């Protein structure tokens, strides 16, 4: 186990930018209908580890099914760099699309598979 590190990330056009404090040594690949179509590789952090630097007004929100997760994406380039929702403990959490973090080599990370299609 390493220690938490500060990462910056965002969308393709740069209108949405954020920083996150996280320990990222593995990612989650979910096979639910939206994650599999978008090829997300996810890491999860609590609200106090996420800071939106710019672009709140550039985001659109898509919700489906139980409407627990806000699938946020940039209105200009369409990239979903992060989302937010409520964890099982009732607290706000963020799902970070690790592919959108600057300088992260996703092929060097361990991938855990989650059967979200059955949830």
119 in a domain, yes or no?
no
More confident residue, 22 or 66: 22
Domain extent for 106 = 5-111
Kindly report the CATH number assigned to the domain that includes residue 92: 2.170.150.70
Task: Please list, residue by residue across 41-65, b when 16 or more beta carbons sit within 10 angstroms of its beta carbon and e when fewer do.
Answer: bbbebeeebbebeebeebbeeeeee
As a whole number, mean pLDDT of residues 23-33 equals: 89
Establish if 102 belongs to a structural domain: yes
Across all residues in the chain, what is the average pLDDT?
92
Instruction: Say what the pLDDT of residue 2 is.
Output: 61
pTM value? 0.90
Residue 91 has pLDDT above 60, yes or no: yes
Tell me, yes or no, whether 118 lies in a domain.
no
- Specify the pLDDT at position 10: 98
The total of structural domains in the chain comes to 1
Per the model's pLDDT, the better-predicted residue between 25 and 12 turns out to be 12
């Amino acid at each position: 186990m390493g220690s938490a590190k500060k990462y910056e990330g965002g969308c393709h056009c740069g209108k949405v930018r954020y920083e996150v404090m996280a320990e990222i040594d593995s990612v989650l690949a979910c096979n639910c209908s939206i994650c599999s179509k978008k090829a997300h590789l996810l890491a999860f952090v609590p609200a106090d580890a996420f800071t939106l630097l710019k672009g709140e007004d550039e985001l659109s929100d898509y919700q489906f099914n139980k409407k627990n997760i806000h699938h946020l994406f940039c209105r200009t380039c369409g990239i979903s760099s992060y989302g937010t929702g409520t964890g099982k403990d009732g607290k706000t959490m963020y799902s970070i699309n690790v592919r959108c973090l600057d300088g992260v080599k996703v092929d060097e990370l361990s991938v855990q598979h989650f059967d979200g299609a059955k949830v």
